[in-house]
Structure 1
Amino acid sequence: MLANTSFTQWYSQSCQAEYLRTIKSPGGILGMADLSRPAGDMSHPPLSDLALYQDQLGGSRVTGNSGGGSFNVRSEQGAFFLAAPNFANTITVDTTHQLRSLSFPLLHWQQVLDEAANGQFSVERLQLYKGFFHSAVIRSALQNLWVLCDEDGTPSRLLVRAAGCEILAELCRLSGAPFAPANGGLAPWAKRRCLELMRARLSEDLCLEELAAETGLSLFHFARMFKQSVGVPPRVYLTQLRMERASELLRCTELSITEIAQEVGYSSSQVLARIFIKHYRRSPSDHRRLVRIQAR
């Protein structure tokens, strides 16, 4: 047993490493991995992270205990399993299976969980450790987070933190956490200040904690109230701002694509191009050419 070992450390350094297809650790705030495993035992010793698995194939018989008591279920494609931190997971799967995992180091996330229910709820009380569950919210957030890692390389701390808050909020909601909906959103002055700060610092690795501090709110409540006020999570709004600014620079300046990428916070022209094509359905170069033709 390895004391205080994280999920990604254990999979990388133990005999399980051969099953890893991809591993990511954006900012050290989350651990992400794709696993391809044969049938058999996938138990692990107590690890320091809260681990979320998504079954990519479905159809496997999964038995064992991941922190909430014994279960015996037939998994479904896209279903999630949650493994408790600091618990010796005893899981067996009867077929070859593929998993996507997301692990939350409690060092970074315990305060967020405390804030979720004003200290009245803890990770030990999550009611999702027994068998599988479905969540469209978590599926979407996890997919978006994975795409961000593929596109950005290392996404900004704001993007990673915001996605993590979305997923933890849904885990708490599904477990019956006693927190009220974020009605009303941010105060007008707080919303205005946050949006101004995001626009002014597009090229920087602005973190969610800084925005929350500007409003005097906790990280967890800020992320939820921002979405109530703006209509989309902070991570989505940041991408929208970057795309709008990139489009403006393409239209109004002679800056190169690489220079524009740096101006809006991306590490390279290739990263900008991937996200820009997804947003506008054309490359930055084609966009520049088209808007200038239209202007003439």
Structure 2
Amino acid sequence: MERLAFSSSSQWYREGQQASFVRARKSSGGVLDLVEVARPAGDMSRPALPDIVLVEDMLGCRRVRGDLGGGRFDLTTRKGTLAVAAPNFATTVINDESHQLRSLAFPVAQWRSVLDEAADGRFPLDNFCIYGRVFNSPTVRSLLRNLWALGHEEGVPSRLLARAAGCEILAELCRLGGTPFTSAKGGLAPWAERRCLELLQARLSEDISLDALAAEARLSPFHFARMFKQSIGVPPRVYLTRLRVEKACDLLERTDLPVTQIALEVGYSSNQVLARVFTRHMRVTPSDYRRAVRDPVRSIPSQWPADLAPATAAPR
């Protein structure tokens, strides 16, 4: 094992001995680090890292031996098997065959206060009983899959998406580990709801963080995310995406701005990112949408669902 100090999982996968095995990497401002690796059989141990790392086995392996911080194991894994490696622990992992993994790292420096607030100061960071366990959780797998898909859609996960998704995943891991987070009581106060919706609208083009919204409501990020959903009906990241798509529609209808400029105006890094998000929600590209609202009789795509067609469209 290398005798180097690595400040994060992200740095380890960039510079460590397994860097050549990385197939995809998405990092969101140090809030979360997502990595996909395809590794050969053999010793895949790593030095201690200051992150809680959730790992999903994408293929399964006939035999895996090692220690992730919860005691030694020797077992067979299946596709979708999950495990959590403890922070500040030099893990040992030896595989009998090549395999593919996806990992999600929570830098402790970013998440310590969230964990303390969500668990009323009772989160056992050093001896969390889920460390080193191999387990199955459809909920965690679904959350991971959605996070990867949304990260691909946006290029990298926004800070709002990363923090909100991280809170959901950690909440489920803590439930499975016997340390459930305290539940939020009710939704946002009317003044807090109004202020947060105004802030989202005003900072649509920015990579606004969940922490900033939570601070406006005078809540922890974890409790804010749950209370926002209770009040609005959807998580903050979903609401923000809806606002951005609605604003993009408005600019496509009313202006001649290039699609690239519209993407920047609504908070996306490129026209390709806007196209992916817009098409998923509207089932039509931004350019086709603009043509349709400018000349609805001639330009409405035949595949456009009736419930999404612009109100200006004439009967066909």
The TM-score with structure 2 as length reference comes to 0.87
- Inter-CA distance 135–226: structure 2 relative to 1 (3 Å threshold): farther
Structure 2 residue runs of 5 or longer lacking an equivalent are 297-309
What is the rounded CA distance, in whole Å, between the counterparts of 2:104 and 2:136 in structure 1? 15
Q: 1:56 is matched with which residue?
A: 58
Aligned to 2:25: 23
Write the deviation string for residues 50-87 of structure 1: whole angstroms up to 9, x where unpaired.
11111111243222211111223321212211100111
Q: Partners in 2 of 1:230 and 1:139 — Cα distance?
A: 25
What is the distance in 1 between the residues matched to 2:74 and 2:282? 46
Verify: 1:221 aligned to 2:223, yes or no. Answer: yes
Q: Deviations over 1:272-294 (max 9, x none)?
A: 01111111111011112223415
Matched, 1:77 2:79: yes
1 CA distance for matches of 2:93 and 2:19? 17
| Bigger proportion of residues as helix | 1
Q: What amino acid sits opposite 2:133 in the alignment? A: G
Given that residues 26 and 149 in structure 1 are in contact (C-alpha distance below 8 angstroms), is that contact kept between their aligned partners in structure 2?
no
State the Cα deviation string for residues 202-253 of structure 1 (Å, max 9, x = none).
1112111111011110112112222222222222221121112212222233
Q: Deviations over 1:92-122 (max 9, x none)?
A: 2222100011111111111111112111113
1:74-153 to 2 correspondences below 5 Å: 74-153=76-155
Distance 1:39 1:173 in 2: 33
SS of 1:45's equivalent in the other structure is coil
Distance, in Å, in 1 between the alignment partners of 2:48 and 2:173 is 21
Q: Report if the CA contact (8 A) 2:55-2:102 is conserved.
A: yes
What is the aligned partner in structure 2 of residue 206 from structure 1?
208
- Tell whether the 8 Å contact from 1:27 to 1:154 is kept in structure 2 after alignment: no
* Alpha-carbon distance in structure 1 between the residues aligned to 2:192 and 2:159: 20
Pairing 1:286–2:271 present: no
Q: Distance in 2 between matches of 1:94 and 1:226?
A: 46
Q: Give the whole-Å Cα distance in 1 for the aligned partners of 2:276 and 2:223.
A: 32
Give the drift of 1:90.
1.4
Q: Kindly provide the amino acid, as one letter, of the partner of residue 186 in structure 2.
A: G
Residue 301 of structure 2 aligns with which residue? Answer: none
Q: Which amino acid aligns with 2:145?
A: Q
Match of 2:34 in 1: 32
Is the CA contact 2:118–2:182 (under 8 Å) kept in the aligned structure 1? no
- d(CA) in 2 for partners of 1:276, 1:229: 25
**Superposition CA RMSD, Å:** 1.9
* Structure 1 position 4, deviation (Å): 5.2
Q: Secondary structure at the match of 2:83?
A: strand
- CA contact under 8 A between 2:27 and 2:157: conserved in structure 1? no
Q: Which residue of 1 aligns with 2:260?
A: 258
Aligned partners of 1:25 and 1:32 also within 8 Å:
yes
Q: Does 1:231 align with 2:197?
A: no
- Aligned pair count reads 296
Cross-structure match for 2:305: none
Q: TM-score, normalised by structure 1?
A: 0.92
Distance 1:142 1:237 in 2: 20
Q: Secondary structure at the match of 1:75?
A: strand
Q: Which residue of 2 aligns with 1:249?
A: 251
In structure 1, give the amino acid aligned to 2:143.
A
* Greater shift in the superposed pair: 247-256 or 268-277: 247-256
For 1:291, give the aligned amino acid: V
**Paired-residue identity, %:** 58
Cα contact 1:7–1:49 (8 A) shared by 2: yes
